[in-house]
Copies of this chain bind each other. A is one copy, B any other.
Amino acid sequence: MPASSAEPSSAVLADLLGALAYGELTAFQRLAADSVLAGSVVDAAALGAMAVAEYGHHVQLTAYLVGRGIDPAAAMAPFVAPFDAFHLQTAPADWLQSLIKAYVGDGIGTDFYREVAAYVDPQTRDLIEAVSADTGHAAFAVAHVREAIAADPTARGRLALWARRLVGEALTQAQRVAVERDSLTELLGGNVDLAEIGAVFGRIVAAHDDRMRALGLAD
């Protein structure tokens, strides 16, 4: 745990919550669009409900930014290109790919934000925890993917490859953001050492492995 959780600077807060707000908006857009891939109206509506929950998070985040005197559109602007590139590179070809993307992709994002939340003031931390709450992706995705693999075991290799590709694209874009923006370094700078950063990444990777196992896609 960090030594302290001081109030982050306005620029850091704008970057952190701007990225999260735009991420939630694109998650909403893509989940809703992907819901047309569902095999039934009930499944489509279920994915729709998750998309609507993401939109609610987007609204919470932009309202919070406004309350802190930060323009949400300006705060989101630096993250439009990386998020759009991620989604362009990972457009699901079918329903199972869209479920895995929702579960694995959002899972890594959520874990990252929960780790970062340790370094911000309590009010911002509460917000991040609230918008990181599971919107139902997990149980829904796990049940459907396991069922599909049980029905067609040959799908397993293809879906495992897809999950790896998602992680690769997410890391590519995260790296791009990290190089261009100093705010994360600034946020962590005064509080962490390399061992702690290593522990953070270790926890994120372990949680990802847990998700892959839950899906039946672990090596």
A residues apposed to B, CB below 8 Å: 22, 25-26, 28-29, 32-33, 35-36, 40-42, 44-45, 48-49, 51-52, 55-56, 58-59, 62, 72-73, 76-77, 80, 84
Chain A to chain B contacts (Cβ below 8 Å), 26 pairs = A25-B44, A25-B45, A25-B48, A26-B36, A28-B32, A28-B48, A29-B32, A29-B35, A29-B44, A29-B48, A32-B32, A32-B33, A32-B51, A33-B36, A41-B72, A41-B73, A41-B76, A41-B77, A42-B73, A45-B62, A48-B58, A49-B55, A51-B55, A52-B52, A52-B55, A52-B56
A60 to chain B, nearest CB (A): 12
Residues of B near A26 (CB, < 8 A) are 36
Describe A's contact surface by its main secondary structure.
Answer: helix
Alpha-carbon distance A44/B55, docked complex (angstroms): 11
Alpha-carbon distance A52/B25, docked complex (angstroms): 12
